[in-house]
Amino acid sequence: MKIDDKVLEKLKNAKTAFALTGAGSSEPSGIPTFRGDEGFWKDKTPFTIEAFNENPQKVWEWHLEIKELISKKLPNPSHFALAKMQSFFKIFAVVTQNIDNLHQKAGSNKVIELHGNIYRNKCNNCGKIFGEINSKKMPECDKCGGFIRPDVVWFGEPLPYKALIKARAYAESSEVCFVIGTSGVVQPAASLPLIAKENGALVIEINREKTVLSDYLDCSIFGDASTILPDIYERLL
Ligand code: NAD
């Protein structure tokens, strides 16, 4: 499915935009989505602090496996199209729920990570931040001796405050919001397109299928983000 000419015209006139991306934008790179059929995530849940407290070593090993899969994957044309949009719009940001670092690898320079980054770690006790750690054995903090965990947001945990505030500011001030490859059921990220809409933005969804958000937005383009986004970018020029 292609973008409608009338919507395209409005897009061409906009100066400010942001994209909210979810697991579907990295699916064409070969990273399974959370709610897809693949068993990859299912045998590793639950992603909760309770699971970590019960067996930190096991949860650490799950994340090593996830990082191993992700580290072999490359950005796909949807990531590159978003990176190029930086030069089309005066202000453009990517607000992502993904933890895979692929937007940054594709060249996006304003990426707001709502759910953290699998390559970063933090002390579960004092919050000290660490870079990538590949040890099989769960490491301990050199400052306080606490357990080190991946710096990603697990179910039931609050989102990083600064990232959420920045994302909200884009939702409140942008003329365009793209909603790409997200099922729209993980809050508070899923409310950002609605905040954008409420503030007058043109909200365009790109997804393989209808979502719980679709009926509230200006238009939905159904199909693969890795073909639709490059097409939109080409037609913007
Ligand atoms: P989700 O798994 O709930 O939904 C993915 C959505 O993408 C679905 O609506 C699906 O129809 C759509 N989709 C799948 N392939 C697509 C494609 N090629 N083009 C367009 N749309 C496509 O993902 P979510 O809403 O992002 O929520 C799951 C949470 O799990 C995320 O918040 C994230 O933290 C985590 N997660 C991250 C990654 C990653 O970093 N790549 C992968 C899986 C899960």
| Position 37 pLDDT exceeds 80 | no
Query: What is the pLDDT, as a whole number, of residue 157?
Result: 95
Which atom number of ligand 1 is nearest to the Cα of residue 28?
Answer: 18
Instruction: Give the Cα separation of 63 and 149 in Å (integer).
Output: 9
- Sorted by sequence, the CB contacts under 8 Å of residue 111 that are 6+ apart come out as 93, 94, 96, 103, 104
> Average pLDDT over the chain, rounded to whole?
96
Is 63 a known active-site residue? Answer: no
pTM (predicted TM-score): 0.96
Name which residue leads in pLDDT, 136 or 37: 136
183 lines ligand 1 (CB under 6 A): yes
| Predicted pLDDT of residue 43 | 81
Q: How far apart are CA 77 and CA 70, in angstroms?
A: 17
Tens digit of each residue's pLDDT (9 = 90 or more) over 93-102: 999 999 999 9
pLDDT at 57 over 80: yes
Nearest CA to ligand 1 atom 23: 23
104: Cβ below 6 Å to ligand 1?
A: no
Determine whether the shortest distance from the Cβ of 118 to ligand 1 is under 6 A: no
Determine the pLDDT at residue 231: 96
The structure tokens listed for 214 are 């679709």
Cα(25) to ligand 1 centroid in Å equals 7
Does residue 114 line the site of ligand 1, with CB under 6 A? no
Short-list 1, 201, 9, 10, CA closest to 95 = 201
Please give the pLDDT value at position 13: 96
Q: Is the pLDDT of residue 1 over 80?
A: no
pLDDT digits (tens, 9 = 90+) for 142-156: 999 999 999 999 999
Q: How far apart are CA 177 and CA 173, in angstroms?
A: 10
Taking the CA of residue 209 as reference, the ligand 1 atom at the shortest distance is 11
Ligand 1 pocket test, candidate residues 21, 33, 72, 114, most atoms within 8 A of CB? 33
Mutate to test the pocket of ligand 1, among 34, 178, 208 (most ligand atoms within 8 A of CB): 34
Categorize the per-residue pLDDT at 38 as very low, low, confident or very high, splitting at 50, 70 and 90: low
Q: Can you tell me the mean pLDDT for 76-88?
A: 97
Q: pLDDT tens, 210-234?
A: 999 999 999 999 999 999 999 999 9
Backbone angles phi, psi at 223, to 5 degrees: 155, -165
